[in-house]
Amino acid sequence: MIDVNKVRADFPFFGATDLAYLDNSATSQNPKCVMDAEWQFYVDSNANPFRGIYELSERATSAYEHGRETVKDFINAKSTKEIVFTRNASESLNLIAYSFAPMVLEEGDEILVSILEHHSNMLPWRMAAEKAGATVKYLEVDLTGEVTAEMVAEALTPKTKIFAITQVSNIMGRENDIKTFAKLCHDNGTYIVCDGAQSVPHMPVDVQDLGVDFLAFSGHKMLAPMGIGVLYGKEEHFAAMPPFLTGGEMISTVSYDGMTLSELPHKFEAGTVNASGSVALEAAIKYIQSIGFEDIQTRETMLCKRMLDGIRDIPHVTVLGSDKPEEHHGIITFKIDGVHPHDISAIFADNNVAVRAGHHCAQPLHICLGIPSTTRASVMFYNTEEEVDRFLDILSQIRGAMGYGD
């Protein structure tokens, strides 16, 4: 069981403010051990990795690659050749769309995309389809946000070459059955690309068990700094793909009119790498592992239940997604009758509570549901019951503050 007071003592943020931070699906806070790891890299290992034969550069290389090894073990990839460091999940997904998609797409083919997707797992596929003369098809949902195996099986056709879907929706919080979807895809000759930005921080993710071809996620949503992301891909895919960017370190040799690419995964990591980010991400992973996903999920489900139970007692508030707290994975997205989400967010901000308002980079989903925009509160294991109660108290007053009598 998590001792939340002890946990919060690990986070300098909570000692510096009384803000109730309920925007964790956008960015999580950082424990001191992560900050210390990044700082320590600059103290004793600050040199370009791979490019010097002196000890300082060798330490930087070792630290960077040790972080990759930790990521590999964390998601159970087969080897470090399947782990590419990027800036974030968005860059990871773009890498696939720019480098892998042209290899498998032909004119008349289809890319299937769930309407749940963040723009980062939607817009790259539109561009890839346009370049190839292919078509993007959307798998739509209702207010529950559920995607079933039957829906996927019905949507797949012999022309479907890629299926892009999130493991956990950043709006609904609902987990998709990626393992089943992957089998359906592979039986159909379709590759599956999974956005793990909202899942990897909150639950065990085993890429070999899931069977996905690619998985993308970001460090800044899982206690690490901004600017470090991960792309997992099956080694055979990476081996066949051309580099996304060119420059230093992604090549072995360069001549007047040719070049030889570096070994995997380095051919996808052009330029000076984010070595301190790798070190910090490793520290974040170890911190998450020290707490344990079982306890993390138990606490986040409890906080979601408390929030959902409280919302049910407040008239004119509608929650998107399941009515089961365990199916929200820390994400509660809602609308209030007659009140714009920006006004809702501003009232929360005036009361020192951070929530998110808008379409949350999922505008097509909002169009599909007929809802222009929503408000999202997202918890993490370090949030408290008192913060949830504070949220509910303010929520209950919003319509009154906007001039409604009821």
Per-residue pLDDT at 267? 93
Per-residue pLDDT at 78? 98
Task: Collapse the DSSP code of 191 into the 3-class scheme (helix H, G, I; strand E, B; otherwise coil) and give the result.
Answer: strand
Confidence label for 381 from pLDDT (cuts 50, 70 and 90)? very high
pLDDT above 80 (res 304): yes
Omega before residue 315 within 30° of 0, cis: no
Task: Collapse the DSSP code of 146 into the 3-class scheme (helix H, G, I; strand E, B; otherwise coil) and give the result.
Answer: coil
Per-residue pLDDT at 51? 78
pLDDT above 90 (res 137): yes
Taking the C-alpha atoms of residue 217 and residue 198, their distance in angstroms, rounded to an integer, is: 8
pLDDT mean over 174-178: 98
**Which residue type, as a one-letter code, is found at position 117?**
E
Per-residue pLDDT at 201? 98
pTM of this prediction?
0.96
The CATH code of domain 70-273 reads 3.40.640.10
Per-residue pLDDT at 247? 79
Going by CATH, does the domain composed of 4-22+292-399 fall within 3.40.50.300?
no
Mean pLDDT of the chain: 96
Confidence label for 391 from pLDDT (cuts 50, 70 and 90)? very high
Per-residue pLDDT at 251? 67
Please say if 368 is a catalytic residue: no
Of 142-151, 207-216, 238-247, 310-319, least confident by mean pLDDT is 238-247
Answer yes or no: same fold for 4-22+292-399 and 70-273.
no
What are the pLDDT digits (tens) for 147-160? 999 999 999 999 99
pLDDT above 70 (res 378): yes
Confidence label for 254 from pLDDT (cuts 50, 70 and 90)? low
pLDDT above 80 (res 22): yes
Taking the C-alpha atoms of residue 66 and residue 27, their distance in angstroms, rounded to an integer, is: 24
Per-residue pLDDT at 299? 98
pLDDT above 70 (res 356): yes
CA atoms lying within 13 Å on the CB side of residue 50: 17
pLDDT above 80 (res 211): yes
Question: What is the chain's percent helix, strand, coil content, to nearest 5?
Answer: 45, 15, 40
DSSP assignments along 229-263, one per residue: EEEEE-HHHHHHSPPSS-SSSSEEEE-SS-EEEPS
Percentage of the chain beyond pLDDT 70 is 98
Q: Phi/psi zone of residue 306: left (φ > 0), alpha (ψ -120 to 50 degrees), beta?
A: alpha
Per-residue pLDDT at 406? 65
Helices 275-291, 55-75: inter-axial angle, 10-degree rounding: 40
Confidence label for 263 from pLDDT (cuts 50, 70 and 90)? confident
pLDDT above 90 (res 46): yes
pLDDT above 90 (res 249): no
Task: Collapse the DSSP code of 204 into the 3-class scheme (helix H, G, I; strand E, B; otherwise coil) and give the result.
Answer: coil
Is pLDDT larger for residue 264 or for residue 361? 361
Exactly one of 33, 185, 194, 361 is catalytic; which is it? 361
Query: Domain-by-domain residue ranges, the chain?
Result: 4-22+292-399, 70-273
